[in-house]
Amino acid sequence: MSQTGQMQANPRASRTNLEDALNANVWDVDESPHIEVDTEKCVTCKTRPCISFCPAHCFTLLGEKMLYSYEGCLECGTCRVVCPAKEITWKYPLSGRGVQYRF
């Protein structure tokens, strides 16, 4: 409520779900990847949890080959934690680069 006693519209009220909120983000992508994966190790990985757990869908399989991108990364660090082979090298993008949350 405002000081005059009137309700004010919540600017986020029109967002109906997480996907809508994530779509409002913007990225200043660094040319240098902040994620590197030894994809040779992914070939023998039985579970490949990075595919399921990455909220930005940065990991995908093409046949048996693991493909990944870093441009839409949300910088949550989940892939580094869940990789059973610990073959993901992860660091934050250079200062000021990467995702800029808009919620």
Q: Pull the structure tokens for residue 85.
A: 């082979």
Min separation Cβ 5 and ligand SF4, Å: 43
Q: Pull the structure tokens for residue 11.
A: 């600017």
φ and ψ at 51, to 5 degrees?
A: -65, -40
Q: Which is nearer to ligand SF4, 57 or 65 (CB)?
A: 57
Q: Which is nearer to ligand SF4, 42 or 79 (CB)?
A: 79
Q: Which is nearer to ligand SF4, 5 or 76 (CB)?
A: 76
Min separation Cβ 64 and ligand SF4, Å: 20
Q: What single-letter amino acid sits at 34?
A: H
Query: Taking the CB of residue 77, how many other CB atoms lie within 10 A of it?
Result: 13
φ and ψ at 61, to 5 degrees?
A: -100, 140
Q: Which residues bind ligand SF4 (CB under 6 A)?
A: 35, 54-56, 58, 73-79
